[in-house]
Amino acid sequence: MSITQSSLLDDPLARRSVEVLRAGQAPSGALVASPTFPTYGFAWLRDGAFCAYALDIAGERAASAAFHGWAAASIEAHRGLVEDAIRACEEGVAPALDRMPPARYTLDGDREHDGDEPWPNFQIDGYGMWLWALAYHHAGRPLEPDAERTVALVARYLATCWPLRCFNCWEEYDDGEHASTLVAVAAGLRAAARLLDDGGWDDAAHGVARDLTDRFVVDGRLRRGPADDRVDGSLLWTGIPFGLLAPEDGIVSATVSAITRDLCGPGGGVYRFLGDTYYGGGQWLLLTSSLAWHERVAGREEGARELQAWVRSQAIETGDLPEQVTGHAQDPSMVRPWVERWGPVATPLLWSHAMYLLAEAAAT
């Protein structure tokens, strides 16, 4: 799957999306979540993994390589934290949240220092997503010894610490157990098996996947958590792109059907989950493109085009894509409080542009 130069020229938003991703890359190689939204002035492994994958798809391999180099260096700089977490889990001790490897780093690869408004920074999923994107970037080419060492460290962390309760990909804790986290962990372990040519990591991935299907399935579909029957837009990634289950698998099909039924709002934009109140709980562009990506792989091109058309219609005059739009927010009374707290919705969001590119690439 790749975007040709001609298709980029034919699609102004695809061209702008590559520009936004490139402009959002720091000299260190880090990819900032949003360059104009101060609260998102960090580099998440999760967002960055999707952005690096999109850069590879768009032929920007040097930019993707720079991100992966930054990620590896940032993780190695905090090797002690990772090793301590692994050791604690092996001893049956739950480490303190502030002693866990961070989900996001500063653009220089340091840990974030809490300001006036501390923000949770313990999420396991990003480490799995990073290995998934790295495996695609290397495409079967052997790793350098230093990179092997980092990949092995992250694989050990995922295989040992995945049962820990943590925050999910939306920075929410709930009860600390999240289907989307397990999907990302399993994808990362499968990627480690390819990167390190070690089937033992595949075995570890099978264990995570088994827990997912044993405890996170209700009515034939995935649910957000073992005690939360709601569906979540992030569960789209179970089939595409992480491939934990085949896109045509019955569980995936039932999950996508539930997402389409419960989370597609007016016009077609996808909500994160029912009951969301962040900026009122609007429709997220990256999830709408995620659904378009799935629909294209499933052969439902008309639906994919409609979803992508909705995303294009949300671009502002510069061609930048926001994180979400709030015209049909689930709780309109919560839009203004968030604007007063953090400012207008993050625009551009690099992750929105990355997902638009990936959904468009699926059509080529």
Question: Number of folded domains in the chain?
Answer: 1
Domain that holds residue 122: 5-361
96 burial level (CB within 10 Å; 0-12, 13-18, 19+): exposed
Q: What is the CATH number of the domain that holds 179?
A: 1.50.10.10
Tens of pLDDT, residue by residue, the chain (364 residues): 445 555 655 899 999 999 999 999 999 999 999 999 999 999 999 999 999 999 999 999 999 999 999 999 999 999 999 999 999 999 999 888 888 999 999 999 999 876 656 677 899 999 999 999 999 999 989 899 999 999 999 999 999 999 999 999 999 999 999 999 999 999 999 999 999 999 999 999 999 999 999 999 999 999 999 999 999 999 999 999 999 999 999 999 999 999 999 999 999 999 999 999 999 999 999 999 999 999 999 999 999 999 999 999 999 999 999 999 999 999 999 999 999 999 999 999 999 999 999 999 998 6
Under a CB-based contact definition with an 8 Å cutoff, are residues 21 and 321 in contact?
no
Q: What is the DSSP string of 24-85?
A: TB-TTS-B-S-TT-GGG-SEEHHHHHHHHHHHHHTT-HHHHHHHHHHHHHHHHHTHHHHHHH
